[in-house]
Amino acid sequence: MESGSIRAGIVGASGYTGAELFRLLDVHPAITVEAASGSSQAGQPIADLYPNLAPVVGDRVYDEYSVELFDGLDVVFIGLPHGLSMDVVPELIGRVGLIIDMGSDFRLKDPDLYPVWYGAEHTNPELLAGAVYGLPELYRATLPGAELVAATGCNAAASSLTLAPLVASGLIETDDIVINLITGVSGAGRPPKTNTTFCTVDENATAYGLLNHRHTPEIEQTLTDVGTGPATVLFTPHLVPMNRGILASCYGRLTRSCSTEDVLAILSEFYADSPFVLVDERSPSTKSVQGSNSVHLTARVDPRTNRVLGIGVLDNLVKGASGMAVQCANLALGLPETTGLSKVGMYP
């Protein structure tokens, strides 16, 4: 494919995921960003908000969103807060080749779940059935030729990728899964919030979304898909003072006797054809995946409690958002899924 021949747009380009898309697509050999809207920053130079992008964007400014701005593009990435994509997507369908929504508005197949977990009815529930869930390691076969992809959320990606092999193999009970997860502050987005200011976050750790975090049904939906029955999870995220990164510690009750070596073998076999997943006996760290599209996994069996512990780490802005979106776009557009994406993290 000719270099830069795929014309792309970014809706919500002034957020962290939009900025990360600019960074990733700068080295993508086939995709060029033709349009970028950031309505809250319309008219402002992109490099003023993100100086790291200055070599890429020059004196380019954020545009006000309009359908006409994106008309005819090959792929449009949407990085808007929850509740906003469900009104933008219908406007773009039929006017662009492919839509990759990085928000939560099209991830859940059951429209009745949106008022329960998001506090509002879905305004376009008829589009949910046709939206492909964008988690390539589990739904790779559904992505080629897709027109609307709902890219997986960062917390859900880390948790689901850690647990999916254990559920698919029938190794754990699916009605008693516990997930404790830590996440960096960038997962809350760029706009300032009282709970993400420096003085609040520094030297502090806080559990949030207690019993009602919005990624819970997304994780349950995925684990139910890969398993043989309904999955129920108790999911508790924790905000810690780091910019990026997610570490998910996942616990399940064993259905049969096995060893740590057995579980590591199950993980390795399950992800044998997934280029961005590394299974290792070593305990993974968030620093090891920073800036990359990789997921590092490990597991341990505890005979004393008859439980297995799975641990997964990823960069919430790359594999948990923008990198995942690019990986999905690659597959949907017929490109090798690794195109423009790095497996190697930045260290230190």
The tokens describing 298, both together, are 């490990």
Select which of 154, 250, 258, 328 is catalytic: 154
List, in order, residues 6 or more apart from 112 with CB less than 8 Å away. none
Distance separating alpha carbons of residues 185 and 204, to the nearest angstrom: 11
How many beta carbons lie within 10 A of that of residue 30, not counting itself?
A: 20
**46 within 8 A of 26, measured Cβ to Cβ:** no
Distance CA 120, CA 324 (A): 26
The two tokens of residue 303 are 């005979």
Residue labelled with tokens 């006797």 = 257
199 included as an active-site residue: no
Instruction: Estimate to the nearest angstrom the gap between the alpha carbon of 269 and the chain centroid.
Output: 23
For residues 77 and 88, what is the distance between their CA atoms, to the nearest angstrom? Answer: 11
Structure tokens at 263: 């579980």
Cβ atoms 41, 14 nearer than 8 A: yes
SS3 216: helix
Phi-psi region of 170 (alpha: psi -120 to 50; beta: other; left: phi over 0): left
Tell me how far apart the alpha carbons of residues 43 and 164 are, in angstroms, rounded to a whole number: 44
* Gap between the Cα atoms of 340 and 2, Å rounded: 14
Beta-bridged to residue 302, according to DSSP, are: 307
Question: How far is the CA of 203 from the CAs of 144, 193, 243, 247, in angstroms?
Answer: 45, 17, 13, 18
- DSSP percent split of the chain into helix, strand, coil, nearest 5: 35, 20, 45
Q: Report, as residue numbers or ranges, the catalytic residues.
A: 154
